[in-house]
Amino acid sequence: MEVLSAAMQRKKDQHRKTRSFASKVLLVILVLGLSGCSTLRLSYGYLDWWLSWKLGDYIELNETQSDQFAAQVDAFHQWHRTTQLPEYADMLEQMAADVAQGEVDSTWLMRASDRFERLWEASGQQLITGVAPVAGSLSRAQLTELGENLRERNRKDLKDWNGESSKRVKKRAKRMKKNLKRWLGRLTPEQNRIVDNWAANLSSFLQQHIAQRELWQGQLLALLYAPPATFEQDFTRLVVDPEHLWSPDYRAHIEARQQQVIEMIAQILATASEKQKAHLIGELQRYADDFRYLAAQGDQPDTVRQSTQAPISMKPSPAT
């Protein structure tokens, strides 16, 4: 809860700040959870604020833009709550049933990944279409600020990623083990070795990734500096479907890395104990229950939702 409290205080200190429009953050925060010290039900209630707060790392909007953006995000939040969360709940419940029946392998994982991707695309389309007019209203000074912050982020990430290879591998393995522990409970020595081998053998493509990111950012800035008549359509496609800019080589590399992750997780699940499977089923069902609860709040006024969310289901995940 300390993190949430600090973030809420920062919101007061950074009045009407707002942030960049592109990322697959929705999938992460809506499906894989938002924090270890709070619960999904509480955190999801702050989704509209979180999106606005997070944008200020790159750009500050004026008052009119902030109001317009806030209205669009509020509308998106309500749409997502009532139409998309039931979809996530259905999917997670089916996944829990599949695990219980032992129908889990790399093909199953790929299907789940594809379905999550489709849900992300629907959400991204809905959100970005709404905020595109705000993006089209950015001033030259705001675009200069955006470009500078994007370049600074690139420099920072490149410095971080260019560290010692062995340290990167250890950090990669540590992150994956933490995620797996959350879903399965304590990993076995064999499962830890599977993750270590995956982390050590995952192909590196740092330079390609930075080059692809800079290409996308260049396209974004060019579009914002000289908006065409088809701006909203072009902006939405650029943000929701950045893959259309991928070269064949880059796409092949991404797909190969994805396959490595899928195969590693399939190995982990193949070695899962009955206790771990029960833990996974419980976590999937817990998220499904939370999504259904949140969806049911969609027709309540904001004041009612805010007053009922905090005291509900405050226990942390067993894997925290």
pLDDT in tens, 59-108: 888 999 989 988 988 898 899 999 999 999 999 999 999 999 998 888 99
109 strand-pairing partners:
none
Q: Which of 22-36, 43-57, 218-232 has the lowest mean pLDDT?
A: 22-36
Residue with tokens 């919101």: 11
Say what the pLDDT of residue 203 is.
73
- Phi/psi of residue 18, each to 5°? -150, 165
Residue 22 has pLDDT above 70, yes or no: no
- How does pLDDT run across 34-63, given as a tens digit for each residue? 333 345 554 555 555 556 556 777 888 899
Q: Cα separations (Å) of 291 from 102, 134, 198, 302?
A: 24, 30, 32, 17
Rounded to whole angstroms, the Cα distance separating 218 from 163 reads: 26
Say what the pLDDT of residue 314 is.
24
Residue 17 has pLDDT above 90, yes or no: no
Say what the pLDDT of residue 6 is.
42
Q: Which of 56-60, 64-68, 125-129, 303-307 has the lowest mean pLDDT?
A: 303-307
59 strand-pairing partners:
18
Q: Which two tokens stand for residue 24?
A: 């697959």
Residue 188 has pLDDT above 90, yes or no: yes
Contacts of 169 (CB under 8 A, 6+ apart): 199, 200
Buried b (16+ CB within 10 A) or exposed e, 259-288: eeebebbbbbbeebeeebbebbbbbbbbbb
Residue 266 pLDDT grade (very low, low, confident, very high; cuts 50, 70, 90): very high
Q: What is the DSSP letter of 102?
A: T
Residue 313 pLDDT grade (very low, low, confident, very high; cuts 50, 70, 90): very low
Output the average pLDDT for the chain. Answer: 78
Rounded to whole angstroms, the Cα distance separating 232 from 105 reads: 40
